[in-house]
Amino acid sequence: MNQTHLFFNTSIGVQKPENIRNKNQSCPFCAREELTGIIDEEGPILLLKNKYPVLENAYQTVLVETDVCEEEFSQFSTAHLNRLLDFAIGHWIRMEESGEYRSVVLFKNHGPLSGGTIAHSHMQIIGLYDLDYHEKIAEADFQGLSIHEEDGVQLNLSDKPKVGFYEFNITMGHGRASAPFASLIQTAVHYIMNSFPFKCSSYNLFFYSFKGKIICKVVPRFVTTPLFIGYQLPQAPDNLEWMKNDVQSLYFQGTIEKEA
């Protein structure tokens, strides 16, 4: 019988630092000289073993995105953004291809409603020994209203969101990250954090290796609807067409005319 749940070690969990809400607590990623378990580094980007491996039967790593604590993903320069995504996806794919895990997840938490504990920009790469996340996803999770396409990379707005309301999908062919892939992820994050109806302080990035493609799902985080918590019933809003046009007008001037 397949395992269906991850198991969380609460005795380790209570030791984790938490400075997303508690601003008086120091940032562990800023004390770089004290960091241990470093696996790889490229300039200000670090990959290290997670000091607090709360998940059982999993290999947990943390990817520190920058050495500037206040800097956030939507603010990264193009050069740093491209280097970061290439570094992150390269390590994620190598772990997948190692054959050591049933599946490997790459994701990012940002903000107090994202499920994260540290404010400093970071991602996590986790190798799962017993679980295959592919069993929880379907092609419909990544389909939606097309917003923009560039060099084979597509940005759309989910018409069947996994959790509910607004989810952006960015899809490219399998391999190392491309500049358009990185740029379109950043565009979706920037829109979420700065535009109506969002101006949202929290979001997640989820990466998937699926049917020969690499997909990033960008999800603004609010208080989760009880219909999803209690019944696994996601909701799709009635203004998706408006939002598609809004993103196009703000970031891709001329796209609407070209598609007409």
CA distances from 170 to 75, 148, 213 (A): 19, 10, 10
Owning domain of residue 7:
1-260
Number of domains in the chain: 1
* pLDDT on residue 177: 77
* pLDDT on residue 82: 97
| C-alpha of 236 from chain center | 20
Residues 6+ apart with CB under 8 A from 239: none
What is the rounded distance in angstroms from the CA atom of residue 155 to the CA atom of residue 256?
14
Q: What is the pLDDT along the chain (260 residues), one digit of tens a residue?
A: 578 899 999 999 999 888 777 767 889 999 999 999 999 999 999 999 999 999 999 999 999 999 999 999 999 999 999 999 999 999 999 999 999 999 999 999 999 999 999 999 999 999 999 999 999 999 999 999 999 999 999 999 999 999 989 999 999 998 777 999 999 999 999 999 999 777 899 999 999 999 999 999 999 999 999 999 999 999 999 999 999 999 999 999 854 433 33
Whether residue 222 contacts residue 200, with contact meaning beta carbons closer than 8 Å, is answered with: yes
CATH number at residue 106: 3.30.428.10
175, 37, 177: which is closest to 97 by C-alpha?
A: 175
187, 192, 194: which is closest to 170 by C-alpha?
A: 187
* pLDDT on residue 221: 94
